[in-house]
Amino acid sequence: MAAVRRPVTDRRVLALREGRAVELPDRLVTEEPLEIRAAGPGQDPQTVTVTMRTPEHDFDLAVGFLLSEGVIGGYDDVRQVKYCELPDGAEQQFNVVTVKLARPVKLTPRLTTTTASCGICGTTQLDDLQARCPVVASGRERLARSVLLSLPDRLRQAQSLFDKTGGLHAAGLFHFDGSVVAVREDVGRHNAVDKLVGHALLERLLPLSEHVLVLSGRVGFELVQKAAVAGIPVVAAVSAPTSLAVETADRLGVCVAGFVRPPTANVYTHAERLDLES
């Protein structure tokens, strides 16, 4: 029987309450490894990375990661996504995903674990990113100030796993009118974004030229990278961006707004993508 992986793990805890200790049920966010493999026609699957993730939307995570790393360029490059095939009688652990590609690829294996706090593990060359990722195109609309300021609350309302565990990052994809496209939660903020981008790729929504990426935490370089590769023009976060995130966004045409906590926000790059009067 398959070992079903769930995003939440039940646990008994010793809770200290008002001078006494009581045993209570608790829920923890599940953190487990996922090995992402890729293979072109006639090629054996090769490991691209191993990431620590919350088990949910694994196929989205795999293709989103491959897109952000430049292994694939879009929907037409993907032929099949599946969990690993096992001999008869072996227990499926749901911890290896293989993406079969339409064309042969030469992979540079990343045989290190991607932790919950590190999204890129060595991919630090901004010039290399800019060489393969064009400046995000200008859309027909600007994001209204009122919508920008409303987005963190809209994201928080959609965080069902956070309500159960209090231990996840969230990333949300929204239209410019504030309506939600999808929300993903994960122990790793970069995984949450990869899951969103992978969802958009598999649904043939790319490029996301009139969408906003909303983050529950800080904005690092790797998150701006993933947004730019997906064509997202605006990134909004409840916390601060890093200096490299701002530099990357400035080069690639992405508007970054941090500390979005109504009624205030800080706009770090490309404010022309916002309608600050509405």
State which H helix or E strand residue 21 sits in: strand 20-29
C-beta of residue 107 within 8 angstroms of C-beta of residue 46? yes
Dump the DSSP string for 73-121.
-SGGGEEEEEEPP--TTPPP-S-EEEEEESS--------SEE-TT-SST
State which H helix or E strand residue 171 sits in: strand 169-175
State which H helix or E strand residue 23 sits in: strand 20-29
Of 118, 121, 133, 255, which residue is the catalytic one? 118
Q: Which of the 8 DSSP states describes residue 165?
A: H
Active site residue 118: yes
How many beta carbons lie within 10 A of that of residue 110, not counting itself?
A: 18
Residues with active-site annotation: 118
